[in-house]
Amino acid sequence: MRAWTREDLKRRFGRSDDPEIEARRQWILKVLLEDSPEVKARLIEEECIKRGQQQGRLIQARASLRRVLARRGLALSAALEAQIDGCSELATLERWIDQAMTAASAGEALA
């Protein structure tokens, strides 16, 4: 698809702040996807892959954080373990990793 066609479609059918227009847009998308099950399946698969990749990055960041803390001899309490496991924002985990490199305690690293 040419760039100008894609941009024209986005301009005409992109998200709207008007609830009525947005509801109509959502209805159009639903009808089109119902008539194109292969496209719907592909979009769902792509979203699952993205979510899986994001989940993998979170798991890796949590493991890296724990490794830095362990290497520095900073023990994690059950509450701090739960805090790490409950964090679903990669930016926060990365900040904690950076802080763990110089923190005096595990609690300070996760502040």
Q: Each residue of 27-77: pLDDT tens digit?
A: 998 998 889 999 989 999 999 999 999 999 999 999 999 999 999 999 999
Classify residue 110 by its DSSP letter: T
What is the pLDDT at residue 42?
A: 92
Inform me whether the pLDDT recorded for 2 exceeds 90. Answer: no
Neighbouring C-beta atoms of residue 68, cutoff 10 Å: 18
Give the pLDDT score at 1: 60
Q: Are 97 and 64 in contact (CB under 8 A)?
A: yes
Residues 63 and 102: their CA atoms lie apart, in Å, by: 18
Residue type, 65: L
Residues 6+ apart with CB under 8 A from 40: 33, 34
